[in-house]
Amino acid sequence: MAGYYIGGKTGTAEKVVNGRYAKKRVLTSFIAVFPADEPRFQVLIMLDEPSGLTETHGNIAAAWNAAPTGGRVIARIAPLLGIEPRFTLPSAEHLILANHSDR
């Protein structure tokens, strides 16, 4: 969400039905901390069997439903928690960059 520094991770798990993974029946999740440069709060969103919509191009993965829902929840509750949107970059001492390359 614009103005909020959010750190998060999505997850999509296929449910087991009759001993087999059901590709169209999933549990999606998004865990987030905010503000990411000075974490004070965390939010967990879990959706049971979300539907693929026209606006998600039929996708049911967490990046298409749980993460956007989490962003909307944070945008709604952050001001209530005293966290206003910021449109400047955090200081370099708070930036965390990860490189997962083997090269």
Cα distance between residue 62 and residue 11, in whole Å: 6
pLDDT reported for residue 68: 95
pTM attached to this predicted model: 0.80
- Reported as a single tens digit per residue, the pLDDT across 38-70 is 899 999 999 999 998 898 898 999 999 999 999
Whole-number average pLDDT of the chain? 90
Q: How many CA atoms lie within 13 A of 22 on its CB side?
A: 10
Domain ranges across the chain? 7-94
